[in-house]
Every structure is written in C-alpha cells, then in structure tokens.
A = this chain, B = another copy of it.
C-alpha cells in the first residue's frame, strides 16, 4: 500500500515517488498546512491547480474542535474536507508541549487544558494514534516530546528518551494498514543526542522517518548541523521528513542534504500579514512604493494572482482588509514554494541542483 522509489540522485539530494492510498507524492515535496481542516483561505480545487499533492492536518486543533469522533462519523478527514489526495496528520505533541502553562507531563502522556474553553484533555502515544486513526490521514506521526531550542542538555536528553519510548508505544498502538506511521528523531542542537536518536529511530519498523525539534528557535546553521548529523543514520530507502521548515533557503539546503518532505505555515501566514516572496526575497505589500505599481508581485510568475492583478490592487485589498487580498497573496506564496520544489526536482534529475541553488540564493538573499 506504501512504496518509496528513488528516481534520481544528485550528490546528497534525491527525487522519489512515495505511493500512498490516496495517490503518489513526488519528492522532495512541500506540504501546505490545513491546520483546522482547511489550508487557510483556499479550496481543494485551488490547491490542486497549484500542483499541491499532499496537505497536513493538525491533530491538536481537530481533536479539540470538532473532535475526532465527529470527523470519523463524517467518513474521515479526506471526505469531510473534500480532499481526495494524500494527507498527513501530526501527533499533537508539538502543540501540547508549547502550552507551557496549561499542561502536566509524565511518562504516561500529557494532560492539558484546552486554550479554547479550559476543558481538560489527555494525549498519549495511544491516544494520539487513536485520534489519528479516526482522522484517517495517509501518513500519521508518532507522539513525541519536542523541547524548545532554549532547553538545556539534560532536558533534551530526557525528551529524547521519552520520545523513543513513546515511538515504540505509538507503533504498538497503530492498527490501520492504510496509514504509514513515521517516528520522529529528536535531540535538539546536541550532536551526540541527535546521533543516538537517529540510530534508535532508524531501527524501528516504519515507512518513513521525521526529524523533529527543528525550527523551534535554533539558528539556521544549527538546524542544518542537526540535519547533517542525523542523515548518515537514516535509511536511504525511506522518505525523510523535516518538520516545520518552509523558508526557501532552508528547503534548498535541506534537500541538498537528503530531505524529502517539508511542511510549514509560513506561506499562508506571510500572506495573512501582507508579505510575499519573489526571486529577490521577501517583501511587504504595504510599502508605499507599490501604491502605483501596475506590475505583478513577480514578473513572469504563472500564478493566478500574478496573471491578473497588480501590486497596486493587491496593496489596496490588503490595506482595506479585503479577504480577496489575503487569498491572492496565499495563492502566490504557495505557488512560489510549490514551484520552487518543482524546479528542485527537475534540477536533481538533471544533476544541476548545486548550481541552481547557488543562483537562486544569490538573488533571493541579495538584499540581506
């Protein structure tokens, strides 16, 4: 039901096809976040026309509202949100550990209060898997402990140990053969802990492996160091998913080191705040120089937004808080990232990723 075939290699990078019950994913892939069962502002049809092959749903948000039971009674997340392509759900771990004031942790799991209404909830490896089985995504995640970048080594060591125990319990609790369960490597910025965690997780029976505990406050150099440290221990034959990463330069650098899957709220969140990507970097649409600009966000861009609208109009919509502006920037940002991934795959196939990456970053980072 699941299969991962590598189709090309270019130094440490590779392209592949990951087969799932809801279709094929061409890697390296970026997965837009459909946190509460919707990629913010967009319909499934729009996501498809952007070339999106897989989206993410968040267990933490969906378990609180509307509840996994309801989604299950509606035929599962795919049917409920009308998305018939592959989907991934996270375990809820990342979000509950972020609730520093509202949670209580022990080895059995995490008791936490809903930030919505204060009601009490419990998540454990078993509970998270049960919920993710009800939601029914193609790829589901083991329940892990994800400490912040500020955590000291002792704290990170304990999180690694707990993450390993919980990975085993997650795998044991998992019953659906039509879902691939990915366990997660932790270890923060500590190379010995990352190595230990990578070795342990790689030894588990699983269809793919995630690298967690990145994009939590560490530097970009520390993030790439963590990726480099764990990579030699992750089996070539399984997809590798770097969690929560979505800056264009991070995608390029992580792909070069062998990462296959990414997710991040950045393209949708930037759009909400009026920011957009171009080949020259990130800009804010509210800049007064755009007031009279009849140019698209990115000259030559093939997205719906750039084919139809000027920066002048988009700036007006955002200043007027017109939802259409938010939508049109979301479309552009997602197109930008998904198109970057498409170019990355093409350049890996041609063996030209390094020069492509160098060229891209020389203009993208020019203003920094």
Is the beta-carbon distance between A292 and B73 smaller than 8 angstroms? yes
By a CB distance below 8 angstroms, the chain B residues around A43 are 304, 308, 324, 327-328
A96 and B317 CA atoms in complex are apart in Å by: 22
- Report how many copies the assembly holds: 2
Is the beta-carbon distance between B44 and A80 smaller than 8 angstroms? no
* A81 within 8 Å of B (CB atoms): yes
A139 and B230 CA atoms in complex are apart in Å by: 66
- A residues contacting the other copy or chain, number (CB 8 A): 38
A289 and B304 CA atoms in complex are apart in Å by: 38
Is the beta-carbon distance between A326 and B324 smaller than 8 angstroms? no
* A313 within 8 Å of B (CB atoms): yes
* A257 within 8 Å of B (CB atoms): no
A319 and B38 CA atoms in complex are apart in Å by: 13
Tell me the A73-108 residues at the B interface (CB within 8 Å).
Answer: 73-75, 80-82
Is the beta-carbon distance between A81 and B292 smaller than 8 angstroms? no
Is the beta-carbon distance between A36 and B308 smaller than 8 angstroms? no
Contacts A/B (CB < 8 Å), 30 sampled: A36-B317, A36-B320, A37-B317, A37-B322, A38-B322, A38-B324, A40-B322, A41-B323, A41-B324, A41-B327, A42-B324, A43-B304, A43-B308, A43-B327, A43-B328, A45-B304, A66-B291, A66-B316, A70-B292, A70-B312, A73-B292, A74-B294, A75-B294, A80-B310, A80-B312, A81-B313, A82-B308, A82-B309, A323-B323, A323-B326
Closest 9 CB pairs of A and B: A82-B308, A38-B324, A41-B323, A66-B316, A38-B322, A36-B320, A80-B313, A323-B323, A74-B312
